[in-house]
């Protein structure tokens, strides 16, 4: 007899929604940090840079994003083995460059695009399969 609960359509939908929230929060958090970092100009690390950083809304959005990521990650790990869940966090390596390109005009060259394709393949291979792991 296994202690693993049966996977129902409702629990699959719940897992999918939590993963969507996790990826959206993690992606948004990285973009918020970039927004905050861009506001620092050419300041060297020190009190003036830290003061400007903590005054920027992007930094506060990023901090709140990390809180949200923590909550989503706890919900994910409640229902999924770490060895299966952790590789799936690599999906953020797709969403962050894509949105950085759209929002900040950052370039995604063919090498990076190829790397993103390999990450997708790895996530499919590592994240797929049954829940008995």
For the segment 15-73, what is each residue's pLDDT rounded down to a tens digit? 889 999 999 999 999 999 999 988 888 888 889 888 888 889 999 999 999 999 999 99
d(CA 29, CA 95): 12
For the segment 67-110, what is each residue's pLDDT rounded down to a tens digit? 999 999 999 999 888 888 888 888 898 899 999 999 999 998 99
DSSP 3-31: SSPP--HHHHHHHHHHHHHHHHHHHHHHH
Q: For position 133, what pLDDT does the model report?
A: 43
d(CA 91, CA 27): 10
d(CA 96, CA 68): 17
Report the phi/psi class of residue 105: left, alpha or beta, with left for phi > 0 and alpha for psi in -120 to 50. left
Q: Are 119 and 90 in contact (CB under 8 A)?
A: yes
d(CA 34, CA 98): 14
Select the more confidently predicted residue: 39 or 126: 39
């Amino acid at each position: 007899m296994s202690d693993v609960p049966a996977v129902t359509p409702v629990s699959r939908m719940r897992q999918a929604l939590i993963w969507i929230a996790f990826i959206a929060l993690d992606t948004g958090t990285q973009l918020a940090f970039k927004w905050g970092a861009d506001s620092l100009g050419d300041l060297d690390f020190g009190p003036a840079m830290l003061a400007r950083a903590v005054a920027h809304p992007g930094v506060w959005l990023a901090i709140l994003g990390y809180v949200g990521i923590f909550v989503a990650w706890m919900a994910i790990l409640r229902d999924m083995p770490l060895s299966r869940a952790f590789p799936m966090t690599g999906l953020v390596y797709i969403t962050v460059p894509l949105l950085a390109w759209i929002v900040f005009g950052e370039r995604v060259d063919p090498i990076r695009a190829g790397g993103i394709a390999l990450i997708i393949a790895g996530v499919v291979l590592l994240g797929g399969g049954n829940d008995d792991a």
